[in-house]
Structure 1
C-alpha cells in the first residue's frame, strides 16, 4: 500500500515531508508506514487522499494496476494504441525530448501529467492507476475539493469561481495556490 502512495506522491512532485506538512500528520507516521511498522488510521488516510487528490480506496487497493504498470508504461501504452511515437507526443505537448522518459523515475510535475491526461482525454488518475474514476467518484472528489476551498479562509474567494469547475481544474488551482503559499513562506 505504501508503494501506491509513494508512486502517486512522487508523480506529483511531493516528498513525505510535504505531505506531512500539508496534512498535519507527523513525519514518523510516514516513516512507520514506509517500513511496514504500521498503516495510517482511516482519518489520516482520508487526509492523505484529499491532499493527493485521490481516494482512500486507491491508496489502500491491494490489486492495483499501478502496482504492475508505472505511469510511464501507461503512457507508452496510450501512445501505442494511437500509433503515436513518444517523441511525437513530446513535440505535440511542447515538452523537451526525453521528458516523458523522466516519468520512469517519477520526475515530472502535476502540470505535465495534466497536459498528458488532457492530450489522451483521460484523467490523471488513469495515468497513475490505469483506471478511470467513475462519475460519482468525480462528483464526490469535486465536492471534497470545493469544501476544502470553502473551509480555508485564504481560498474562500475562489469558491464561487470554482463552483462549476471540473475536479482537474479545482485541483490545479488548489495545487498552484498551495505552492505559491509555500514559496511565499520561505
Structure 2
C-alpha cells in the first residue's frame, strides 16, 4: 500500500475528504493527490502523521502498525555505573562519591521522566 493509499484510508475511516486533510494541514488542494505518483517530502509526511496520530513508518509502509512507539527510555544501574566509571570533575580529578551520586540521581530522573 502506498503512502497516498494509507492517507486515503485514514481519512475515510474518519469520514473526511483528502481535500479537508490538505486544507487542515495548509497544503495546496491537490498536494496529497500528487503523492499517487511522487514521494512526499519528509516534513509533509510528519505533518500528516501528527494529524492522524500515527507513526511516520506506518505512512511510509515500513510497518502495518499505525501506533506511535513508546518514547520513554529507561536506564539501568549498570548503565549508570558504566557512564560514571571514568567520569572526572572539571579539574580532571576523580569525582567525589557525593558528586557521583548527585549525577547518578540526575541521570536516573532524566531518563525515567522522558
TM-score (norm 2): 0.55
Across the two proteins, how many residue pairs are aligned to each other? 73
Q: CA RMSD in A?
A: 2.4
Match 2:10 to one of 78, 81, 91 = 78
* Greater per-residue helix proportion: 1
* Distance change (3 Å), C-alpha of 1:133 and 1:87: closer
Residue 126 of structure 1: how far off its partner (Å): 1.1
Name the counterpart of 1:131.
65
Residue 134 of structure 1: how far off its partner (Å): 6.9
1:121 lines up with 2:49 in the alignment: no
Distance 1:87 1:78 in 2: 13
Summarize the alignment of residues 1-186 of structure 1 with structure 2, pairs less than 5 Å apart: 69-129=1-61, 130-132=64-66, 135=69
TM-score (norm 1): 0.35
Distance 1:134 1:84 in 2: 22
* Distance change (3 Å), C-alpha of 1:89 and 1:132: closer
Divergent runs of 4+, >3 A: 132-136
Name the counterpart of 1:7.
none
Name the counterpart of 2:95.
none
Structure number, greater radius of gyration: 2
Q: Name structure 2 gaps, 5 residues minimum.
A: 74-109
Residue 70 of structure 1: how far off its partner (Å): 0.7
Q: Name structure 1 gaps, 5 residues minimum.
A: 1-68, 141-162, 165-186
